[in-house]
Amino acid sequence: MDHEQTRRSFLGKSLTILAGAGAVVTGWAAFRFVFSGQGAKHRGGPLAGEAFSRGDGPGGSGPALTANPDGSFSLAADAVPQGFSMILALGAVPVMVLHGDRGVRAFAATCTHLGCLVRWNPDTNLFECPCHGGKYDAAGRVIAGPPPMDLAEYKVEATDQEIRILMA
Ligand code: FES
């Protein structure tokens, strides 16, 4: 084997190893993204100007959801206590529910840039996207990063017994 053949062989093996390492890193990132948010409860944080208690939401695998004939979804009011936030999968739509001292609000939890799940950060009072640094204020308005549009807000009807999220 001459010098040129040895060099080509070395480069070929190096590229193969690099491609394999890249696939592992990409797969791990995808795994972490898929299993990082949906149905997860998040530490509560204040909506703009609201007093919020801190702490983790109730335990368990997520609240019981009822899909109503009109396309809305209902859950027990105590599933998202005041001071807590939670991502729920309503049908195929991830929705962030925030319960502040002025009531319950619900926002699309999918970043308007490339579709990653946003997270509510109680320390900054912002929705933050882990993928490319997009940030939204407590009303879902884009304030930083590449997202082209605000997060959609869904109408919520809340009583002492029930939270109803209207998806239309
Ligand atoms: S997907 Fe959210 S900033 Fe890119």
Ligand 1, from 36, 114, 135: best to mutate by most atoms within 8 Å of Cβ?
114
Domain residue ranges of the chain, discontinuous segments joined by +: 1-35, 41-166
Which pLDDT tens digits describe the chain residue by residue (168 residues)? 555 666 566 555 654 554 444 444 443 443 333 333 334 444 444 443 333 322 233 444 567 889 999 999 999 999 888 888 888 988 889 999 999 878 899 999 999 999 999 999 888 889 999 999 999 999 999 999 999 999 999 999 999 999 999 987
Q: Is the CB of 130 under 6 A from ligand 1?
A: no
pTM of the predicted structure, to 2 decimals: 0.67
Cβ neighbours for 84, distance < 8 A, ≥ 6 positions apart: 41, 42, 43, 44, 55, 56, 57, 58, 99
Rounded distance between C-alpha atoms, residue 163 and residue 99, angstroms = 10
Joined together, the tokens standing for residue 145 give 């990063």
User: Is residue 116 a contact partner of residue 105, using CB atoms and an 8 Å limit?
Assistant: no
Rounded distance between C-alpha atoms, residue 50 and residue 35, angstroms = 30
Residue 101 CB coordination number (10 Å): 13
Q: Is the CB of 119 under 6 A from ligand 1?
A: no
User: Is residue 151 a contact partner of residue 108, using CB atoms and an 8 Å limit?
Assistant: yes
130 Cα: distance to centroid of ligand 1 (angstroms): 7
113 Cα: distance to centroid of ligand 1 (angstroms): 5
Joined together, the tokens standing for residue 112 give 């308007």
User: Is residue 120 a contact partner of residue 127, using CB atoms and an 8 Å limit?
Assistant: yes
Ligand 1, from 33, 36, 110, 111: best to mutate by most atoms within 8 Å of Cβ?
111
Rounded distance between C-alpha atoms, residue 41 and residue 59, angstroms = 8
2 Cα: distance to centroid of ligand 1 (angstroms): 49
- Give the fold, CATH level 3, of 41-166: Rieske Iron-sulfur Protein (2.102.10)
Pairing mode, strands 41-42 and 85-90? antiparallel
